[in-house]
A = this chain, B = another copy of it.
Amino acid sequence: MARTKGAGNSAVDRIQDLILAEGMVPGDPMPTETALCERLEISRSSVREAMRTLASLDIVEVRHGHGTFVGQLSLSPLVNGLLFRARLDDGNDLRALREVVELRIAIDLSVAEQLVEIYRGTVNSELEDLVEEMRRLAKNGQPFPEADAAFHTALFSRLPNGLLRQLAQAFWEIHTTAVPLLDIVQSEDILVTVDAHQAMLTALEAGDADAYRDAVHEHYRPLGRTLDAAGRAAATAVTG
Protein backbone atom coordinates (compact mmCIF):
# COMPACT_ATOMS: atom_id res chain seq x y z
CA MET A 1 0.00 0.00 0.00
CA ALA A 2 1.21 3.49 -0.82
CA ARG A 3 1.92 5.52 2.28
CA THR A 4 2.25 9.28 2.29
CA LYS A 5 5.64 10.18 3.73
CA GLY A 6 5.52 11.88 7.12
CA ALA A 7 8.45 14.23 6.61
CA GLY A 8 7.53 17.67 5.32
CA ASN A 9 3.82 17.16 6.00
CA SER A 10 1.85 19.27 8.43
CA ALA A 11 1.03 18.04 11.92
CA VAL A 12 -2.56 17.52 10.71
CA ASP A 13 -1.38 15.20 7.89
CA ARG A 14 0.97 13.33 10.20
CA ILE A 15 -1.72 12.65 12.78
CA GLN A 16 -4.07 11.48 10.01
CA ASP A 17 -1.31 9.20 8.66
CA LEU A 18 -0.80 7.78 12.15
CA ILE A 19 -4.52 6.95 12.48
CA LEU A 20 -4.36 5.16 9.11
CA ALA A 21 -1.09 3.35 9.84
CA GLU A 22 -2.43 2.07 13.17
CA GLY A 23 -5.63 0.85 11.52
CA MET A 24 -7.74 2.83 13.98
CA VAL A 25 -11.49 3.18 13.46
CA PRO A 26 -14.07 5.78 14.62
CA GLY A 27 -14.46 5.65 18.40
CA ASP A 28 -10.93 4.32 19.10
CA PRO A 29 -9.05 6.34 21.74
CA MET A 30 -6.31 8.60 20.33
CA PRO A 31 -2.80 8.49 21.78
CA THR A 32 -2.15 11.16 24.43
CA GLU A 33 -0.76 14.55 23.49
CA THR A 34 2.58 13.53 25.00
CA ALA A 35 2.67 10.28 23.02
CA LEU A 36 1.86 12.15 19.79
CA CYS A 37 4.66 14.69 20.46
CA GLU A 38 7.16 11.88 20.92
CA ARG A 39 6.07 9.62 18.07
CA LEU A 40 5.70 12.34 15.48
CA GLU A 41 8.59 14.47 16.80
CA ILE A 42 6.53 17.65 16.78
CA SER A 43 5.98 20.27 19.47
CA ARG A 44 3.12 20.16 21.95
CA SER A 45 1.66 23.39 20.55
CA SER A 46 1.68 21.91 17.01
CA VAL A 47 -0.09 18.78 18.25
CA ARG A 48 -2.67 20.86 20.11
CA GLU A 49 -3.36 23.09 17.10
CA ALA A 50 -3.60 20.10 14.77
CA MET A 51 -6.01 18.31 17.09
CA ARG A 52 -8.30 21.37 17.14
CA THR A 53 -8.34 21.44 13.36
CA LEU A 54 -9.03 17.70 13.24
CA ALA A 55 -11.82 18.14 15.79
CA SER A 56 -13.47 20.84 13.67
CA LEU A 57 -13.39 18.38 10.75
CA ASP A 58 -14.84 15.58 12.95
CA ILE A 59 -11.75 13.46 12.25
CA VAL A 60 -11.11 13.38 15.99
CA GLU A 61 -13.67 13.90 18.72
CA VAL A 62 -12.93 15.47 22.13
CA ARG A 63 -15.16 14.04 24.86
CA HIS A 64 -14.57 16.33 27.80
CA GLY A 65 -13.40 14.42 30.85
CA HIS A 66 -12.93 11.24 28.79
CA GLY A 67 -10.18 12.06 26.32
CA THR A 68 -9.87 12.25 22.56
CA PHE A 69 -11.10 9.62 20.12
CA VAL A 70 -11.09 8.98 16.38
CA GLY A 71 -14.13 10.95 15.13
CA GLN A 72 -17.21 9.75 13.33
CA LEU A 73 -16.15 11.47 10.06
CA SER A 74 -19.64 12.93 9.86
CA LEU A 75 -20.67 15.68 7.51
CA SER A 76 -21.02 18.19 10.39
CA PRO A 77 -18.29 20.47 8.94
CA LEU A 78 -20.36 20.64 5.76
CA VAL A 79 -23.48 21.52 7.77
CA ASN A 80 -21.66 24.30 9.65
CA GLY A 81 -20.16 25.81 6.52
CA LEU A 82 -23.38 25.72 4.52
CA LEU A 83 -25.47 27.09 7.40
CA PHE A 84 -23.06 29.97 7.65
CA ARG A 85 -23.29 30.49 3.92
CA ALA A 86 -27.10 30.53 4.10
CA ARG A 87 -27.02 33.17 6.84
CA LEU A 88 -24.42 35.24 4.94
CA ASP A 89 -26.84 35.23 2.04
CA ASP A 90 -29.71 36.57 4.19
CA GLY A 91 -31.40 39.77 2.98
CA ASN A 92 -30.32 38.78 -0.47
CA ASP A 93 -32.44 36.35 -2.51
CA LEU A 94 -32.11 33.30 -0.20
CA ARG A 95 -30.15 31.66 -2.99
CA ALA A 96 -28.00 29.54 -0.67
CA LEU A 97 -31.07 28.04 0.96
CA ARG A 98 -32.79 27.50 -2.40
CA GLU A 99 -29.72 25.63 -3.62
CA VAL A 100 -29.78 23.34 -0.59
CA VAL A 101 -33.47 22.61 -1.16
CA GLU A 102 -32.84 21.87 -4.87
CA LEU A 103 -30.18 19.38 -3.85
CA ARG A 104 -32.58 17.73 -1.39
CA ILE A 105 -35.05 17.32 -4.25
CA ALA A 106 -32.34 15.91 -6.55
CA ILE A 107 -31.28 13.37 -3.90
CA ASP A 108 -34.88 12.32 -3.16
CA LEU A 109 -35.56 11.82 -6.87
CA SER A 110 -32.27 10.00 -7.54
CA VAL A 111 -33.23 7.13 -5.23
CA ALA A 112 -36.78 6.63 -6.56
CA GLU A 113 -36.08 3.26 -8.23
CA GLN A 114 -34.04 1.96 -5.30
CA LEU A 115 -36.73 2.92 -2.78
CA VAL A 116 -39.44 1.27 -4.88
CA GLU A 117 -37.44 -1.96 -4.87
CA ILE A 118 -37.14 -1.78 -1.08
CA TYR A 119 -40.70 -0.79 -0.15
CA ARG A 120 -42.86 -2.43 -2.82
CA GLY A 121 -45.54 -4.55 -1.15
CA THR A 122 -44.45 -3.71 2.40
CA VAL A 123 -46.39 -2.15 5.30
CA ASN A 124 -44.56 0.45 7.38
CA SER A 125 -46.46 1.33 10.52
CA GLU A 126 -43.51 3.27 11.98
CA LEU A 127 -43.55 5.62 9.00
CA GLU A 128 -47.38 5.84 9.07
CA ASP A 129 -47.20 6.82 12.76
CA LEU A 130 -44.72 9.58 11.98
CA VAL A 131 -47.02 11.01 9.31
CA GLU A 132 -49.90 10.99 11.84
CA GLU A 133 -47.67 12.75 14.38
CA MET A 134 -46.86 15.46 11.79
CA ARG A 135 -50.57 15.83 10.98
CA ARG A 136 -51.52 16.21 14.64
CA LEU A 137 -48.87 18.89 15.20
CA ALA A 138 -49.59 20.73 11.93
CA LYS A 139 -53.31 20.92 12.78
CA ASN A 140 -52.38 22.59 16.07
CA GLY A 141 -50.23 25.07 14.17
CA GLN A 142 -47.05 23.56 15.59
CA PRO A 143 -43.83 22.77 13.72
CA PHE A 144 -42.82 19.11 13.47
CA PRO A 145 -39.05 18.94 12.87
CA GLU A 146 -38.48 15.79 14.97
CA ALA A 147 -41.16 13.73 13.22
CA ASP A 148 -40.03 15.09 9.86
CA ALA A 149 -36.38 14.16 10.52
CA ALA A 150 -37.40 10.73 11.80
CA PHE A 151 -39.53 10.12 8.69
CA HIS A 152 -36.78 10.97 6.19
CA THR A 153 -34.11 9.11 8.16
CA ALA A 154 -36.28 5.99 8.46
CA LEU A 155 -37.30 6.15 4.78
CA PHE A 156 -33.63 6.23 3.67
CA SER A 157 -32.34 3.87 6.38
CA ARG A 158 -32.34 0.83 4.09
CA LEU A 159 -30.44 2.50 1.25
CA PRO A 160 -26.97 0.95 1.00
CA ASN A 161 -25.06 4.18 0.30
CA GLY A 162 -24.14 5.61 3.71
CA LEU A 163 -22.67 8.78 2.22
CA LEU A 164 -25.92 9.52 0.42
CA ARG A 165 -27.86 8.95 3.65
CA GLN A 166 -25.52 11.32 5.51
CA LEU A 167 -25.69 13.93 2.76
CA ALA A 168 -29.50 13.81 2.76
CA GLN A 169 -29.44 14.20 6.55
CA ALA A 170 -26.96 17.10 6.35
CA PHE A 171 -29.07 18.98 3.81
CA TRP A 172 -32.21 18.33 5.88
CA GLU A 173 -30.42 19.83 8.89
CA ILE A 174 -29.21 22.92 6.98
CA HIS A 175 -32.67 23.51 5.55
CA THR A 176 -34.49 23.03 8.87
CA THR A 177 -32.02 25.10 10.87
CA ALA A 178 -31.76 27.90 8.30
CA VAL A 179 -35.50 28.53 7.87
CA PRO A 180 -36.08 29.82 11.47
CA LEU A 181 -32.64 31.52 11.60
CA LEU A 182 -33.59 33.55 8.56
CA ASP A 183 -36.94 34.48 10.15
CA ILE A 184 -38.88 32.96 7.29
CA VAL A 185 -42.52 32.45 8.16
CA GLN A 186 -43.68 28.99 7.13
CA SER A 187 -46.55 29.11 4.69
CA GLU A 188 -49.99 28.09 5.91
CA ASP A 189 -50.30 25.21 3.46
CA ILE A 190 -48.03 23.12 5.66
CA LEU A 191 -50.70 20.38 5.67
CA VAL A 192 -49.84 19.89 1.99
CA THR A 193 -46.37 18.84 3.17
CA VAL A 194 -47.87 16.33 5.60
CA ASP A 195 -50.05 14.85 2.84
CA ALA A 196 -46.98 14.66 0.58
CA HIS A 197 -45.12 12.54 3.14
CA GLN A 198 -48.09 10.18 3.14
CA ALA A 199 -48.16 10.19 -0.68
CA MET A 200 -44.42 9.39 -0.90
CA LEU A 201 -44.88 6.40 1.38
CA THR A 202 -48.06 5.17 -0.33
CA ALA A 203 -46.39 5.40 -3.74
CA LEU A 204 -43.35 3.41 -2.60
CA GLU A 205 -45.47 0.70 -0.97
CA ALA A 206 -47.44 0.50 -4.22
CA GLY A 207 -44.19 0.20 -6.20
CA ASP A 208 -45.00 3.34 -8.23
CA ALA A 209 -41.81 5.35 -8.88
CA ASP A 210 -43.60 8.05 -10.90
CA ALA A 211 -46.14 8.69 -8.12
CA TYR A 212 -43.24 8.87 -5.64
CA ARG A 213 -41.50 11.47 -7.82
CA ASP A 214 -44.72 13.53 -8.04
CA ALA A 215 -45.08 13.36 -4.25
CA VAL A 216 -41.46 14.52 -3.79
CA HIS A 217 -42.20 17.63 -5.87
CA GLU A 218 -45.44 18.17 -3.90
CA HIS A 219 -43.47 17.79 -0.65
CA TYR A 220 -41.24 20.77 -1.44
CA ARG A 221 -43.92 22.97 -3.07
CA PRO A 222 -45.07 24.81 0.12
CA LEU A 223 -41.44 25.53 0.98
CA GLY A 224 -40.90 26.86 -2.55
CA ARG A 225 -43.83 29.25 -2.05
CA THR A 226 -42.40 30.30 1.34
CA LEU A 227 -39.00 31.03 -0.20
CA ASP A 228 -40.60 32.95 -3.07
CA ALA A 229 -42.62 35.09 -0.64
CA ALA A 230 -39.58 35.72 1.59
CA GLY A 231 -37.50 36.60 -1.49
CA ARG A 232 -40.15 39.12 -2.61
CA ALA A 233 -40.30 40.62 0.90
CA ALA A 234 -36.50 41.03 0.93
CA ALA A 235 -36.60 42.67 -2.51
CA THR A 236 -39.33 45.09 -1.32
CA ALA A 237 -37.30 45.94 1.79
CA VAL A 238 -34.35 46.87 -0.44
CA THR A 239 -36.21 48.86 -3.07
CA GLY A 240 -39.17 50.17 -0.98
Contact = CB atoms under 8 A, between A and B. Distances in A.
A57 B82 contact: no
Nearest to A111: B106
Interface stretch (A97-105, A128-136, A138-146, A204-212): A97-105
A53 B53 CA distance: 6
A102 B166 CA distance: 14
Interface in A19-36: 19-20, 25
A112 to B, nearest CB: 11
Contacts of A103: 161, 163-164, 167
Integer count of this chain's copies in the complex: 2
A58 B87 contact: no
A118 interface: no
A84 B73 contact: yes
A110 interface: yes
A162 interface: yes
A107 interface: yes
Contacts of A183: 1-2
Contact of A102 (B80, B88, B91, B161): B161
A161 B99 CA distance: 6
A77 interface: yes
Interface in A74-117: 75, 77-78, 80-82, 84-85, 87-88, 90-91, 95-96, 99-100, 102-103, 106-107, 109-111
A236 to B, nearest CB: 15
Nearest to A1: B183
Nearest to A81: B57
B88 A73 contact: yes
Contacts of A18: none
A120 interface: no
A182 B1 CA distance: 7
B25 A88 contact: yes
B56 A99 contact: no
Interface string A190-232: 0000000000000000000000000000000000000000000
Contacts of A88: 19-20, 25, 73
A38 interface: no
7 contacts: A2-B182, A52-B52, A57-B84, A78-B78, A82-B163, A103-B161, A109-B110
